[in-house]
Amino acid sequence: MSDGTWPYPVVERGSKLGVHTIAPGPTISYLRQLLTSGTRFPLVKAVDNLSVLAEVKTLAPDVITVGRITSAIEAAPNIMGADLNQLATSLVQLIVNKIAVSPELQGGRMVDYWEICNEPAPPGVAGYRRLAELMIICMEKAERHGLKLGIFAFNAGTPEWAEMQAMVETGVFGRARRGGHILTLHEGTFHDWPVDQWWGHQIPGSPIVAGAGALCFRYRYLYHLLKMRGEVIPLVVSEFYPVRAGGPYTGFSAEEVARRVAWYDAEASKDYYHWAFCPFTIGPSPGWEGSNYEFAYPRLLEHMISVRDQRNARPEPEIPLGLPRDQYARTYVLLHPGADREWVEAILSSGAWDRYRWTIGGSADDAGIGALDARTVIAINPDQWPGDLAAFFQTYYPGIRYIPVQAATPQELIQQLSTLSL
């Protein structure tokens, strides 16, 4: 949990438009033009051909750099059946091997963050939970080599709300924050849709989150959860699609691209944790020629220069929602699934509620949640829950005092609670 201090840099002024490059292309000339005009890219990402990042760091040491190494395992294939430790070892070793054969990468001064995977597609809630567990192992292994990671690199339009919840519950983002890692993901628009397609629309099951959308700014749903937990980490949209994801970009003028980028840039400036968004791509490799944004970048540079003095959002006080006003000891009587009114009345009739004012309910999560030093759960008929209820609390809400109570009838429960000694 955060102590309330933001431990990362902030893009305080100017545009958050960055660069995604496969071949270096005109990246350096663009950067020189910006520097001459009193601004710079906040971030440059390079894929495979990383030498451009050395030039970036020479010209502008404060520019954040991200490197990605393509591989057959970058999408974390077969996540449900894979040996996560072995897969994490292989993913980190790709980076270590690249550094070993590249003199310019020695010393770790050229690449600030390594994008450990790319557009994984795990199957549903269980798959995203496994993916989060993989990221935790990757971070642990990367830190042994002095490396910091950009984790996840979600595909555009993913994950879903329930999948976000499953990942967050693993503690992966708190672990990332403790290690100084960041989140990368992809987002933008598809087909010939406007850039704000479905902006303001909820995703299935989610709460209403101001400024979030199903495509652009989908990440705000995830950050809604991270803010509640004090686990906010920097975000890089490492592939951004202002028009038609994957190209070709024919039919879109540089002026139209600039208009869309300006809209996204203005909205992104409201999120202090948002470092950069990188249109895909400069210097496309064979097969990606239709995704070349070099035709629009001269106009995009004009936009960046025009907003160079724009003040972006500053870090907010990071006080997770739900912190208690004062520490107190809470006891929650957790009824089993299907318990009816008779069981509730049995608790009241036992006299325990009058004496202790216990909380009564049927939600295991409600019973466990809370940053309290003293939490007790009295679980009524825990064998009627699917799975091991004690293991559930140990996994997701550690530190709870767990008291199981078996009662065949509400009348038996009255007797059990009236003599229960805490």
What tokens does 394 get?
């140990």
Q: Which CATH class is domain 19-306?
A: alpha beta
| Axis-axis angle for helices 341-349, 410-418 (nearest 10) | 30
Query: CA-CA distance, 44 to 57, in Å (whole number)?
Result: 10
Q: What angle do CA 198, 125, 207 make, to 5 degrees?
A: 40
What tokens does 338 get?
């299907």
Cis omega before residue 122 (within 30°)? no
Q: Which residues pair with 184 in a beta bridge?
A: 152, 236
Q: Which position has the token pair 């294939």?
A: 77
Residue type, 30: Y
Q: Which residues contact 292 (CB under 8 A, 6 or more apart)?
A: 247, 249, 281, 282, 283, 284
Could you write out the DSSP letters of every residue in 151-177?
Answer: EEEEPTT---HHHHHHHHHTTHHHHHH
- CA nearest 422: which of 331, 346, 360, 319? 331
103: burial class by Cβ within 10 Å (0-12, 13-18, 19+)? exposed
Contact 23, 287 (CB under 8 A): no
3-state secondary structure of 275: strand
Q: Which position has the token pair 């963050």?
A: 113
The DSSP code for 197 is T
CATH assignment of 329-418?
3.40.50
- CA nearest 74: which of 174, 180, 158, 184? 184
3-state secondary structure of 336: coil
- State pLDDT tens for residues 41-94: 999 999 999 999 999 999 999 999 999 999 999 999 999 999 999 999 999 999
Question: CATH 3.40.50 region(s) of the chain?
Answer: 329-418
H or E segment and range at residue 222: helix 219-229
Q: What angle do CA 223, 276, 45 make, to 5 degrees?
A: 120
Query: CA-CA distance, 190 to 306, in Å (whole number)?
Result: 28
Q: What is the pLDDT of residue 231?
A: 94
- CA nearest 168: which of 88, 233, 222, 235? 222
- Sheet harboring 359-361: ordered strands across? 359-361, 329-334, 374-380, 401-405
Q: What is the pLDDT of residue 397?
A: 87
Query: CA-CA distance, 1 to 24, in Å (whole number)?
Result: 39
> How would you classify residue 211: left for phi > 0, otherwise alpha for psi between -120 and 50, otherwise beta?
left
Question: CATH 3.20.20 region(s) of the chain?
Answer: 19-306
Query: CA-CA distance, 163 to 306, in Å (whole number)?
Result: 39
What tokens does 340 get?
């009816």
Query: CA-CA distance, 76 to 72, in Å (whole number)?
Result: 9
Mind listing the pLDDT tens digit of every residue in the chain (422 residues)? 344 589 999 999 999 999 999 999 999 999 999 999 999 999 999 999 999 999 999 999 999 999 999 999 999 999 999 999 999 999 999 999 999 999 888 888 899 999 999 999 999 999 999 999 999 999 999 999 999 999 999 999 999 999 999 999 999 999 999 999 999 999 999 989 999 999 999 999 999 999 999 999 999 999 999 998 889 999 999 999 999 988 888 889 999 999 999 999 999 999 999 999 999 999 999 989 999 999 999 999 999 999 999 999 999 776 666 667 678 899 999 999 999 999 999 999 888 778 888 899 999 999 998 878 889 999 999 999 998 999 999 888 888 999 999 999 999 999 989 888 77
Query: CA-CA distance, 206 to 49, in Å (whole number)?
Result: 39
H or E segment and range at residue 34: helix 27-36
